[in-house]
Amino acid sequence: MSELRTPVSLDIVVCTYNNASLLDRALVAIAAQEVGDDVTWSVVVVDNNCTDGTADVVARHVARLGERLRLVREPRQGLTPARLRGVSSTAADWIAFVDDDCLLAPDWIAEAAACAREHPACGAFGGFIELEWEREPDAYVHRWEWAYAAQDLGREARAVEWVTGMVVRREALAAIGWIDRQLLADRTGTALVSGGDVEIGLRLGTQFELWYTPRCRLRHVVQVHRTTHSYLARLVYGLGVSSFLGDTMQWQGSERTWVPAAALRSHRPVRAVLEAAAGVVRGRRDPRDVTIAFSFLCGWWGGILRFLTVAEGRRAELVGLAARPRRP
């Protein structure tokens, strides 16, 4: 007799903006999933004002996935509004935020369901993310693979403080209040600040465990234009801003003490710039590493300026939000 397993319901939310060719590949990978009858799953593609062939791509895949696949539209530009539309358009216990340039392994849904069974009270979990370069980049780009969300936290599943590529438990997402109020902006159109991911992960981590499971494997396709020096500099600048905002949320002191402390903390990205420069002098680093490291430093200081320009009440709400559980 086969073992009875707890049923799991999972909805995959794919937010997309003018990326029809990669969305097509992502949906091909989803259609190839090998899933047992004890998992109820579906896919919602959120069209965030696409002007390319996104609708046609989804229509073609409906022929294979049938009612499992739906297309909804979100007119407010940005990843956060698109994700909110995906959340409101689904009802499963678990929500997988999958980017339109990610290719799931054939057993990804099955392994995600297994992790959900093993850790039913966790807030979220993520898995192994391997980069698939559309064309092999310049050698120095490999030093910045973390900026493209590469994730390898080991061969064993374990609780972690932070994880990317999240599968989120719906009740946990509601419990932290993110569905009702979001404080950080996320990617909007071609803007690359990723504060939304930071906010969701850190707010979940204040109240729930986060898990990493290497069995959930996916490939993140990195297009050629995203490996250029100018693009990488913009990307790392945005990650510098996001890093500052994440530290703001985890600060345990007062709002008044945070900005001086943040200025002092900039010694870390300053040191990274100096180390890159020293590596160039010694012939061990590419000169472009210096400008990329400097971009992160500029992003950190840009985050400070951004923080100082928001309304005082919003600053007070943001400081320490993820340093301790929020009381009702």
Residue 83's domain is classified under what CATH number? 3.90.550.10
- Report the greatest alpha carbon distance in the chain: 67
Q: Which helix (H) or strand (E) holds 69?
A: strand 69-73
Q: Domain residues for 271?
A: 233-318
Confidence of residue 196 (pLDDT cuts 50, 70, 90): confident
Residues 111 and 181 reside in one and the same domain: yes
- Give the Cα separation of 240 and 302 in Å (integer): 8
281: number of Cβ within 10 Å: 8
CB 89 within 8 A of CB 6: no
At 326, the pLDDT band (50, 70, 90 cuts) reads: very low
| This prediction's pTM | 0.92
- Tens digits of residue pLDDT in 232-258: 999 999 999 999 999 999 999 998 999
User: How many Å apart are CA 157 and CA 33, to the nearest integer?
Assistant: 22
Which of 227, 244, 268 lies at the terminal end of a domain, its last residue?
227
The amino acid at residue 136 is E
324 vs 163 pLDDT, higher one: 163
Last residue of a domain, one of 172, 205, 227: 227
| 324 domain-assigned | no
- The pLDDT tens digits of the residues spanning 273-307 come to 999 999 999 999 999 999 999 999 999 999 999 89
Per residue in 142-154, pLDDT tens?
999 999 999 999 9
Q: How many domains in the chain?
A: 2
Average pLDDT over residues 98-105: 97
Band of residue 46 on the pLDDT scale cut at 50, 70, 90: very high
Q: Give the per-residue pLDDT at 294.
A: 98
Q: Which residue has the tokens 């049923």?
A: 7
Q: Are residues 196 and 286 in the same domain?
A: no
Strands (E), the chain: 8-16, 39-47, 69-73, 94-97, 102-104, 124-133, 158-160, 167-169, 210-222
| Domain assignment of residue 288, yes or no | yes
